[in-house]
């Protein structure tokens, strides 16, 4: 759409994304050429590239993006909603295996699905985030279903999963599955558009994308300082954020539970997250987040809410049901509408922030103000 879907090079990427505070750290520009690397939660330029149009710019989720073209190419038109993207199905699920639930985040749905995909040969390589707590997470390749549960739990600091994908496609992996945040799934979706057809066949190795609901991620440096102050060298076992009314982050340590006021945690949020319009990973095959139930948080945190978006996602969910890998429970009335409202709120906030940053409501930097989704609600 519009005239902002051009492709430029490294110079423009640095000016428009990195220097502008829009870089999400997804790693889409890393492992494409020798000029980019990730270091301590930052994407760094190792040398100057004079290529006028590069894949680093084309695949970045914060360079000009025609979201509508991606929606129309990757999803069935009848499934598209303005609030949440494509919705083939909406479910509440949890892993049937109690051992998975005991080590995974919330209901363990992501762990169960990725394990199943590996076991059934739907994928031969799963890319997952390793690390957590105050450790800087990274993307790692897993080949066996039994290894997936070892990498469970939410990190709250984004691992550069697209960097891991760019590395995996150079290996003998043929069918890759990725667990990714919304910005990372957008980068992978931009790859699927194949802006450089002669060089873009590697994206065909991507067979499954499971997206994570995400309001924001944390900057590793500032969050590490906060954790070091609060936990006093205790080993961090897991992190969780209950519904907003609790206003806290729960830090599970080897010695017990520590609560950190949410306003202190939010001070560590990555700057680029203010400009993201996607809370449910709309460019995935399946999107997974924590559940909301009338039973209260103690029950809800044992379940996930799941959006199925594509035929591939639908087939995997049906297999999980047939194999009894997942348990399903009835979705309470109004849950989908609540999620839609939360998604629209995220979109409006991000659009306002982009307009404020550019100084012009008609200039949304990497987005097009004429996008039909943005036209459906008043912001």
* pLDDT, tens digit (0-9, with 9 covering 90-100), for 116-151: 999 999 999 999 999 866 678 899 999 999 999 999
Q: Sign (positive/negative) of CA torsion 370, 371, 375, 378?
A: negative
pLDDT of residue 133: 67
DSSP 8-state secondary structure symbol assigned to residue 331: P
Indicate the pLDDT class of residue 236, thresholds 50, 70 and 90: confident
| 54-63 tens-digit pLDDT | 999 999 999 9
Structure-block tokens of residue 14:
């640095």
| pLDDT above 50 for 3 | no
DSSP 83-152: TTEE-SEEEEEEES-HHHHHHSSTT-HHHHHHHHHHHTTS-SEEEEEE--TTSPPEEEEE-SGGGGGGG-
Residue with tokens 């799963």: 126
Asked: is 220-266 a CATH 3.40.50 domain? The reply is no
| pLDDT above 50 for 102 | yes
Question: How far apart are alpha carbons 297 and 178 in whole angstroms?
Answer: 28
Question: How far apart are alpha carbons 288 and 377 in whole angstroms?
Answer: 25
Indicate the pLDDT class of residue 319, thresholds 50, 70 and 90: very high
Structure-block tokens of residue 118:
């590996």
Question: How far apart are alpha carbons 14 and 22 in whole angstroms?
Answer: 10
Question: How far apart are alpha carbons 281 and 287 in whole angstroms?
Answer: 6
Q: Where are the alpha helices (DSSP H) in 323-367?
A: 335-358
Question: How far apart are alpha carbons 30 and 44 in whole angstroms?
Answer: 9
User: Where along the chain do its domains lie?
Assistant: 84-218+271-341, 220-266
| pLDDT above 50 for 4 | no
Indicate the pLDDT class of residue 11, thresholds 50, 70 and 90: very high
| 184-199 tens-digit pLDDT | 999 999 999 999 988 7
pLDDT of residue 5: 56
Q: Specify the pairing of strand 248-253 against strand 256-261.
A: antiparallel
């Amino acid at each position: 759409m519009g005239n902002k879907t051009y492709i430029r090079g490294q110079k423009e990427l640095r000016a428009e994304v990195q220097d502008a505070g829009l870089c999400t750290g997804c790693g889409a520009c890393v492992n494409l050429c020798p000029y980019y690397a990730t270091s301590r939660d930052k994407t760094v330029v190792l040398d100057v590239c004079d290529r006028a149009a590069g894949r680093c710019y084309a695949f970045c989720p914060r360079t000009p993006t025609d979201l509508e073209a991606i929606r129309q190419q990757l999803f069935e038109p009848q499934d598209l909603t303005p609030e949440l993207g494509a919705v083939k199905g909406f479910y509440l699920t949890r892993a049937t295996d109690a051992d998975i639930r005991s080590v995974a985040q919330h209901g363990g749905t992501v762990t169960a699905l990725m394990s199943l995909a590996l076991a059934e040969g739907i994928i031969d390589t799963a890319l997952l985030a390793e690390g957590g707590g105050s450790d800087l997470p990274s993307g790692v390749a897993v080949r066996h279903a039994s290894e997936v549960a070892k990498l469970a739990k939410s990190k709250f600091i984004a691992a550069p999963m697209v960097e891991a994908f760019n590395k995996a496609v150079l290996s003998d992996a043929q069918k890759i599955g990725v667990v990714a945040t919304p910005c990372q799934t957008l980068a992978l979706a931009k790859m699927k558009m194949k802006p450089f057809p002669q060089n873009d066949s590697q994206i065909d190795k991507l067979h499954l994308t499971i997206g994570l609901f995400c309001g924001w991620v944390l900057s590793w440096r500032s969050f590490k300082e906060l954790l070091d102050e609060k936990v006093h060298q205790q080993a961090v076992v897991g992190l969780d954020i209950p519904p907003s009314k609790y206003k806290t982050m729960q830090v599970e340590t080897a010695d017990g539970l520590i609560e950190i006021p949410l306003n202190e945690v939010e001070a560590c949020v990555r700057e680029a997250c203010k400009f993201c319009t996607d809370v449910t990973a709309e460019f995935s095959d399946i999107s997974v987040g924590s559940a909301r139930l009338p039973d209260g948080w103690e029950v809800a945190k044992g379940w996930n809410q799941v959006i199925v978006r594509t035929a591939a996602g639908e087939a995997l969910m049906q297999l999980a049901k047939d194999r009894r890998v997942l348990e399903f429970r009835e979705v309470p009335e109004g849950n989908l509408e609540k999620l839609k409202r939360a998604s629209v709120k995220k979109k409006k906030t991000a659009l306002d922030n982009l307009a404020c940053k550019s100084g012009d409501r008609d200039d949304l930097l990497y987005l097009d103000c004429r996008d039909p989704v943005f036209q459906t609600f008043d912001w």
